[in-house]
């Protein structure tokens, strides 16, 4: 009897041990399985969203300098995810376009109930917004009578959300709520180029800076033409669509209504009088070379400080009769330079501009060619200044040790000129 009960106890004990063992094993299996399925779904989620966001790398070839500018809130963070995005992801839904959707009330608060007006465009007012994260952004409120429907707006956001370059005024968010459509952009504190060229109250832009601005714009357009897949044609390049940041770096704005190359004999002509490619007006076919034409007009604007709506091109054509498009362009130069410009540089930039406005689109250079020419002009300038420094003259030149492979930074200290940020900027050539 005693033997039987001992056997029973041993049997029960073994059963309990086996039971506990099986239960623990089952628990481990369950947890392991859950973890695996979590990893699986998170990586598929990453695949669905991050490639769209990661600087447009899914759909756009990143050109040599498609890095992020000094004022952009989009800075690279861990795993390539932007810090800017990380800052907002707690409160903002990241949409299918990969850019955050802002709640209306956040933008309302950040713009002090839409009272911080900084500009007025054809599509509606633009406000400066101070976000709770500390970032400053620009909010474009599309007019409520705009014909763009909700769906079309979302498509627009998807298109813009994939374009990211240091010389584009990147779209960083949007809001589609309460029948309102708003676009949130990188904030450009120095406003548009046009006001710097024509507003008598602003300090005149020195020649050296104008060439840097031209190169920034050319790089932005090169990215749209050759970096974006499919390529994008801006269709409205003009000085009021070039915005400047705190250190006077330029970015191309307003590419929201840009499209791929197209021919539409029945579509209304779009663009701005004075910048329009004559070939586009006659054939209605808008190509990359139409942007090149407008860029040529912009270059002449920088040289002459004259608005195309005030007869700039007639002025240029008259001068071209004497110069044959090559040398002697000094006669059209902006009087605000007060004679302080490099004649050789000026003639090189003007000759390039003249090629851009060739009546025959095929004879115009590509944006890539233009970037090369302007880069070469600035490198020669740097070499001249470097040479001058070595022989003990005033300008100070420094090599950017962070990017020794390609980047050379020129710190210009013009002692006789004004002390504002224009005269004391660091640029990469």
Ligand X SMILES: Nc1ncnc2c1ncn2[C@@H]1O[C@H](COP(=O)(O)OP(=O)(O)OP(=O)(O)O)[C@@H](O)[C@H]1O
The C-alpha atoms of residue 102 and residue 109 are separated, in whole angstroms, by 12
Q: Which of residues 123-152 bind ligand X (CB under 6 A)?
A: 123, 126, 138, 140
* Least distance CB 226 / ligand X (angstroms): 24
- Alpha carbons 10 and 35: distance in angstroms, whole number: 37
The verdict on whether 58 is a catalytic residue reads no
> 154 or 241, CB closer to ligand X?
241
Nearest distance, CB of residue 407 and ligand X, angstroms? 26
Q: Judged by CB under 6 A, which stretch of 13-21, 153-161, 236-244, 392-400 contacts ligand X?
A: 236-244
- Residue 303 · residue 354 · CB < 8 Å: no
CB of 413 to ligand X, least distance (A): 28
Of 123 and 198, nearer to ligand X (C-beta) is: 123
Question: With the C-alpha atoms ordered 36, 38, 41, 46, is the resulting torsion angle positive or negative?
Answer: negative
Where does residue 223 rank: exposed (0-12), middle (13-18), buried (19+ CB within 10 A)? buried
Considering the complex, what minimum distance in angstroms separates the CB of residue 136 from ligand X?
9
Whether residue 409 contacts residue 212, with contact meaning beta carbons closer than 8 Å, is answered with no
Q: Which of 215, 243, 292, 429 binds ligand X (CB under 6 A)?
A: 243
Q: To the nearest whole angstrom, how small is the minimum distance from the Cβ of residue 160 to ligand X? A: 13
In the complex with ligand X, which residue's Cβ is closer, 130 or 375? 130
Whichever of 137 and 316 has its CB closer to ligand X, that residue is 137
- Let me know: does 254 contact 236? Beta carbons within 8 Å: yes
Q: Which of 241, 287, 290, 425 binds ligand X (CB under 6 A)?
A: 241
Report the candidate in 335, 330, 324 with the shortest Cα–Cα distance to residue 349.
Answer: 330
CB 317 within 8 A of CB 333: no
Residue from 156, 222, 254, 334 binding ligand X (CB under 6 A): 254
Shortest Cβ 118–ligand X spacing (Å):
5
CA distances from 395 to 242, 390, 423 (A): 29, 10, 12
Q: Sign of dihedral through CA atoms 105, 108, 111, 117?
A: positive
Number of residues that bind ligand X (CB under 6 A): 21
Alpha-carbon gap, residue 232 to 254, rounded angstroms: 12
Taking CB under 6 A as the binding criterion, the range among 2-10, 44-52, 120-128, 159-167 that sits at the site for ligand X is 120-128
CB of 193 to ligand X, least distance (A): 9
Which residue lies nearer to ligand X by CB, 194 or 283? 194
Which among 43-51, 239-247, 326-334, 348-356 is the span making contact with ligand X, rule CB under 6 A?
239-247
Tell me if 84 contacts ligand X by CB under 6 A.
no
Q: Closer to ligand X by CB, 240 or 294: give it.
A: 240
Range 159-218, binding ligand X (CB under 6 A): 169, 185-188, 191-192
Q: Which stretch binds ligand X (CB under 6 A): 104-112, 115-123, 332-340, 382-390?
A: 115-123
Binding residue for ligand X, selected from 57, 104, 121, 375, defined by CB under 6 A: 121
**Which of the stretches 116-124, 275-283, 293-301, 309-317 binds ligand X when contact is defined by CB under 6 A?**
116-124
Nearer to ligand X, 252 or 350 (CB): 252
For residue 188, what are the CA distances in angstroms to 65, 85, 109, 233, 327?
A: 19, 19, 20, 22, 36
Please measure the distance between the N-terminal and C-terminal CA atoms of the chain and give it in whole angstroms.
99
**Active-site option among 216, 236, 291, 334:** 236
Q: Does 257 bind ligand X (CB under 6 A)?
A: no
Q: Which of 62, 65, 119, 148 binds ligand X (CB under 6 A)?
A: 119
Shortest gap between Cβ of 192 and ligand X (angstroms)?
4
If binding is defined by CB under 6 A, does position 122 make contact with ligand X? yes
Q: What are phi and psi of 39, to 5 degrees?
A: -60, -45
Q: What is the nearest approach in angstroms of ligand X to the Cβ of residue 141?
A: 9
- Any idea which residues carry the catalytic annotation? 236
Contact residues toward ligand X (CB under 6 A) are: 118-123, 126, 138, 140, 169, 185-188, 191-192, 240-241, 243, 253-254
């Amino acid at each position: 009897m005693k033997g039987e009960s001992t056997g029973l106890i041993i049997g029960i004990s073994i059963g309990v041990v086996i039971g506990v063992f099986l239960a623990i094993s089952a628990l481990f299996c369950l947890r392991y399985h859950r973890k695996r399925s979590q990893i699986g779904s998170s990586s598929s989620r990453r695949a669905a969203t991050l490639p769209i966001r990661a600087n447009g790398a899914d759909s756009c070839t990143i050109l040599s300098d498609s890095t992020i500018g000094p004022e952009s809130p989009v800075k690279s963070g861990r795993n390539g995810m932007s810090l800017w995005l990380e800052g907002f992801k707690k409160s903002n839904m990241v949409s299918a376009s990969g850019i955050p959707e802002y709640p209306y009330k956040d933008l309302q608060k950040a713009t002090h109930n839409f009272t911080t007006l900084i500009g007025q465009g054809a599509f509606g007012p633009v406000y400066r917004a101070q976000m709770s994260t500390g970032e400053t952004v620009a909010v474009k409120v599309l007019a409520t009578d705009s014909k763009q429907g909700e769906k079309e707006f979302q498509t627009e956001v998807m298109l813009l959300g994939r374009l990211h370059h240091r010389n584009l005024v990147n779209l960083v968010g949007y809001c589609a709520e309460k029948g309102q459509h708003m676009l949130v952009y990188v904030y450009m504190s120095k406003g548009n180029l046009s006001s710097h060229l024509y507003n008598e109250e602003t300090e005149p832009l020195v020649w050296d800076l104008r060439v840097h601005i031209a190169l920034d714009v050319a790089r932005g357009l090169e990215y749209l033409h050759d970096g974006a897949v499919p390529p994008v044609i801006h269709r409205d390049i003009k000085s009021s669509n070039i915005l400047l940041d705190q250190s006077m770096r330029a970015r191309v704005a307003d590419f929201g209504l840009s499209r791929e190359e197209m021919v539409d004999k029945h579509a209304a002509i779009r663009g701005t009088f004075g910048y329009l490619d004559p070939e586009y007006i006659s054939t209605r076919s808008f190509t990359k070379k139409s942007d090149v034409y407008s860029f040529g007009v912009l270059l002449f604007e920088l040289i002459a400080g004259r608005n195309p709506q005030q007869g700039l091109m007639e002025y240029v054509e008259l001068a071209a009769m004497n110069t044959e498009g090559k040398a002697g362009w000094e006669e059209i130069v902006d009087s605000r330079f007060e004679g302080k410009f490099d004649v050789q540089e000026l003639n090189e930039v003007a000759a390039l501009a003249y090629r851009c406005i060739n009546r025959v689109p095929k004879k115009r250079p590509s944006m890539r060619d233009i970037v090369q020419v302007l880069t070469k002009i600035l490198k020669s300038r740097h070499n001249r200044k470097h040479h001058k420094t070595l022989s003990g003259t005033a300008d100070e030149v420094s090599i950017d040790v962070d990017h020794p492979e390609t980047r050379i930074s020129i710190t210009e200290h013009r002692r006789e000129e004004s002390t504002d940020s224009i005269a004391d900027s660091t640029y990469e050539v």
